[in-house]
């Protein structure tokens, strides 16, 4: 897989996560959101590997919110901005 495809996948999934986060509850939302977050994290780790971005030690996926934000920031510094704009809510970012 090429980095352009990974970047497009990350941006699409980031937008979905933003929409899910902002939408009202619906049947299956928690499961769908969790699955989307899992895939997003997997693509984050793939992009980090492809761009040789340092990733903190973690316990697999899903990533802790702090690690996710750190990897997003490091990817942004490497030229791959995956969030636009980041949504920060009470309790931290996701």
Give the domain extent around 84. 3-93
What's the domain count of the chain? 1
pLDDT at 90: 56
The pTM score is 0.82
In sequence order, which ranges of 1-94 are alpha helices (DSSP H)?
3-22, 29-50, 65-77
Neighbouring residues of 35: CB distance < 8 A, sequence distance ≥ 6:
none
Q: At what angle do helices 29-50 and 3-22 cross, to 10 degrees?
A: 150
Q: What is the pLDDT of residue 94?
A: 46
From first to last of the 94 residues of the chain, give the pLDDT tens digit: 799 999 999 999 998 998 888 889 999 999 999 999 999 999 999 999 999 999 988 888 889 999 999 999 999 999 998 875 555 555 555 4
Query: In the prediction, which pLDDT does 7 show?
Result: 93
């Amino acid at each position: 897989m090429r980095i352009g495809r990974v970047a497009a996948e990350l941006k699409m999934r980031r937008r979905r996560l933003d929409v899910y986060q902002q939408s009202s509850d619906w049947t299956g939302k928690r499961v769908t959101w969790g699955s989307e977050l899992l895939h997003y994290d997997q693509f984050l780790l793939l992009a980090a590997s492809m761009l040789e971005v340092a990733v903190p030690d973690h316990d697999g996926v899903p990533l802790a919110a702090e690690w996710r934000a750190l990897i997003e920031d490091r990817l942004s510094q490497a030229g791959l901005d995956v969030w636009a704009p980041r949504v920060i809510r009470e309790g931290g970012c996701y």
